[in-house]
Amino acid sequence: MLIRELLCLNAEGQDATVRGWVRTKRELKSLIFVEVNDGSCLSSIQCVFDHNNDTLAALGTGCSVEVKGKLAPSPSEGQKTEVVAETVSLIGGADNYPLQKKRHSMEFLREIAHLRARTNTFGAVARMRSRIAFAVHEFFQNRDFHYIHTPVITANDAEGAGAMFQVTTLDIDKANSSPVDYSTDFFGRKAFLSVSGQLEAETYATALSRVYTFGPTFRAENSNTARHLAEFWMIEPEVAFADLEDNMRLAEDFLKFLFTTALEKCAEDLAFFDAHIQKGVADTLRKVVESRFVHIAYTEAIKELEKQSGKFEFKPFWGCDLQSEHEKFLTESVADGPVIVTDYPKEIKAFYMKMNDDGKTVRAMDVLVPRLGEIIGGSQREESLERLESRMTGLGMNVTDYSWYLDLRRFGSVPHSGFGMGFERLILYITGMANIRDVIPYPRAPGLVAF
Ligand code: 4AD
Ligand code: MG
């Protein structure tokens, strides 16, 4: 049985077998206490021995063990059940185990990413990721969305931002001829890792009506921040016959569902984050669930920011990208909660967004949350072939490369909308962790790829 199951039992005297890794061993008078954790839940189970022996003497933190005994109510504080141990077998020793201290720095733990899941913090993060990923599927599946597996390798730049990793089998050391002849490369043309599954999701939304993707996403932007990864997981719903208002409602319902799941289904881990990682994180989630997201057009948001111009390091002006300090001000001072900023200037948004009648702004939306800033980015898509083509041409894009995408506007075009949410941004928010590198098992960032 897993420790999580054993701890739920109240059966005094029932035989119990515990298998896991030793967290601590303490000796008190004639008793020996061994705390064993198997990662099935945050709690360890205490195994109490009334005799010492050679195996017990050799046990230390990090060893894997099997303990057999009987369940009993625990007199110790903070736990209901313990094991009155009868036998112990050492399965794997752990000499010079690096995780000895109660609290190691996050930086140190990043260097031993293969062992950090054995700490309370990283175990809790891993369980939270798993349960919330399940909730993502639950949310969409319950609403008749179909899960589409969009490709990881792609020939197109979905965001037009140009920060892509190239995929090639050409020998870089020898491919110094300029220009490189990509017709001899694996795919016969240039290929990349996908920065977004959106464009492919759109092809399925205009066939299955409601779809979503949830997969690895890659960005080669040199953003060495606590909110950016080079490899992350993105969730992208795409809905036919939906406008920006529908999109905003979907995003709000989605976040509220995920936060409610964290509060209700991950209570033990969330309480840990609240106590040890960020005080008040559970209340932050509760507050979002109870809030109504404030909607504000970009132009209005800039007016609000300009009133406080002196406050900011980066002076806001119409046309600027919102900086973290601006996002923070909007969520914390203007709205005191989540804010959806809409209708951004077309110059700072992607080519596929629907143009407003003013010809200057597009039907974009960014969902900003207090403390983190942007958690979701999305838009209504341009469904007019003429307008989309002229926008792409204006941006210098090669329209023939995207003829498949333009076909969606040629054949049965419909208004449609969608958004993208970085899964790690979400987990960062739910757990209160400080750095995005600590909410994914193996972080990839500029200069960082351990193995
Ligand atoms: O705002 P972005 O770039 O939007 C898109 O990619 C659209 N194609 C989405 C869509 O409409 N289907 O990215 C969406 C979200 C961001 O709001 C952020 O949460 C996350 O993806 N994100 C990152 N997360 C971690 N590291 C990075 N480098 C990220 N870049 C974006
Ligand atoms: Mg964005």
| CA 223 to ligand 1: nearest atom | 28
Phi, psi values for residue 93, rounded to 5°: -75, 170
Q: Give the domain extent around 148.
A: 116-438
The pLDDT-based confidence of 296 (bands split at 50, 70, 90) is very high
* Res. 451: pLDDT tops 80: no
Host H or E run for residue 269: helix 267-272
Q: How far is the CA of 410 from the centre of ligand 1 (A)?
A: 28
Span 112-137, mean pLDDT?
97
Same domain, 202 and 342: yes
| CA 237 to ligand 1: nearest atom | 12
Question: In whole numbers, what is the pLDDT of the chain averaged over residues?
Answer: 95
For atom 7 of ligand 1, the residue with the nearest CA is: 420
Q: With H, G, I as helix, E, B as strand and everything else as coil, classify residue 265.
A: helix
The pLDDT-based confidence of 4 (bands split at 50, 70, 90) is very high
For atom 9 of ligand 1, the residue with the nearest CA is: 420
Same domain, 120 and 36: no
Same domain, 37 and 180: no
At 323, which CATH number?
3.30.930.10
Which ligand lies nearest the alpha carbon of 163? 1
Span 323-330, mean pLDDT?
95
Pick from 234, 368, 376, 423 the residue to mutate for probing ligand 1's pocket: most ligand atoms within 8 Å of its CB.
Answer: 234
pLDDT in tens, 11-52: 888 999 999 999 999 998 889 999 999 999 999 999 999 988
Cα-to-chain-centroid distance, residue 244: 24
Same domain, 154 and 272: yes
pLDDT of residue 103: 85
pLDDT of residue 173: 77
At 18, which CATH number?
2.40.50.140
Span 229-236, mean pLDDT?
97
- Please state the domain count of the chain: 2
* Res. 101: pLDDT tops 80: no
| Least confident span in 46-55, 133-142, 294-303 | 46-55
| CA 158 to ligand 1: nearest atom | 8
pLDDT in tens, 237-248: 999 999 999 999
The pLDDT-based confidence of 75 (bands split at 50, 70, 90) is confident
Q: How far is the CA of 40 from the centre of ligand 2 (A)?
A: 35
The pLDDT-based confidence of 424 (bands split at 50, 70, 90) is very high
Which ligand lies nearest the alpha carbon of 233? 1
The pLDDT-based confidence of 63 (bands split at 50, 70, 90) is very high
For atom 21 of ligand 1, the residue with the nearest CA is: 422
Cα–Cα distances in Å, from 33 out to 37, 44, 59, 74, 138? 13, 12, 11, 12, 41
pLDDT of residue 29: 86
Residues 46 and 20: their CA atoms lie apart, in Å, by 12
Same domain, 192 and 283: yes
The more confidently predicted of residues 177 and 365 is 365
Same domain, 144 and 74: no
Two tokens, residue 219? 């960005």
Which ligand lies nearest the alpha carbon of 373? 1
Span 268-293, mean pLDDT?
97
pLDDT of residue 197: 97
pLDDT of residue 361: 98
Same domain, 235 and 306: yes
Q: How far is the CA of 87 from the centre of ligand 1 (A)?
A: 52
pLDDT of residue 156: 86
Q: How far is the CA of 236 from the centre of ligand 1 (A)?
A: 9
Among 9, 33, 37, which Cα is nearest to 84's?
Answer: 33
- Look at residue 104 and tell me if it is in a domain: no
Whether residue 39 contacts residue 123, with contact meaning beta carbons closer than 8 Å, is answered with yes
pLDDT of residue 77: 81
Residues 117 and 378: their CA atoms lie apart, in Å, by 33
Domain termination site, one of 60, 92, 124: 92
The more confidently predicted of residues 96 and 162 is 96
Which ligand lies nearest the alpha carbon of 353? 1
Instruction: Read off the amino acid at residue 266.
Output: C
The pLDDT-based confidence of 174 (bands split at 50, 70, 90) is confident
The bridge status of strand 81-92 relative to strand 45-49 is parallel
Pocket around ligand 1: residues whose beta carbon is below 6 Å from it? Answer: 158-159, 196, 198, 219, 228-229, 232, 234, 236, 374-379, 418-422, 424-425
Residues 335 and 420: their CA atoms lie apart, in Å, by 23
Residues 436 and 427: their CA atoms lie apart, in Å, by 8
Q: How far is the CA of 21 from the centre of ligand 2 (A)?
A: 42
Same domain, 285 and 179: yes
The more confidently predicted of residues 342 and 157 is 342
Whether residue 163 contacts residue 221, with contact meaning beta carbons closer than 8 Å, is answered with yes
What is the CB-side half-sphere exposure of residue 335 using CA atoms within 13 A? 26
The pLDDT-based confidence of 176 (bands split at 50, 70, 90) is low
Same domain, 232 and 361: yes
Q: Taking the CB of residue 46, how many other CB atoms lie within 10 A of it?
A: 21
Residues 231 and 53: their CA atoms lie apart, in Å, by 49
For atom 31 of ligand 1, the residue with the nearest CA is: 422
Whether residue 343 contacts residue 360, with contact meaning beta carbons closer than 8 Å, is answered with no
Q: How far is the CA of 91 from the centre of ligand 1 (A)?
A: 44
Domain termination site, one of 54, 77, 92: 92
Task: Say which residues have a Cβ less than 8 Å from residue 360's Cβ, sequence separation at least 6.
Answer: 345, 346
For atom 18 of ligand 1, the residue with the nearest CA is: 422
pLDDT in tens, 355-408: 999 999 999 999 999 999 999 999 999 999 999 999 999 999 999 999 999 999
Span 256-274, mean pLDDT?
98
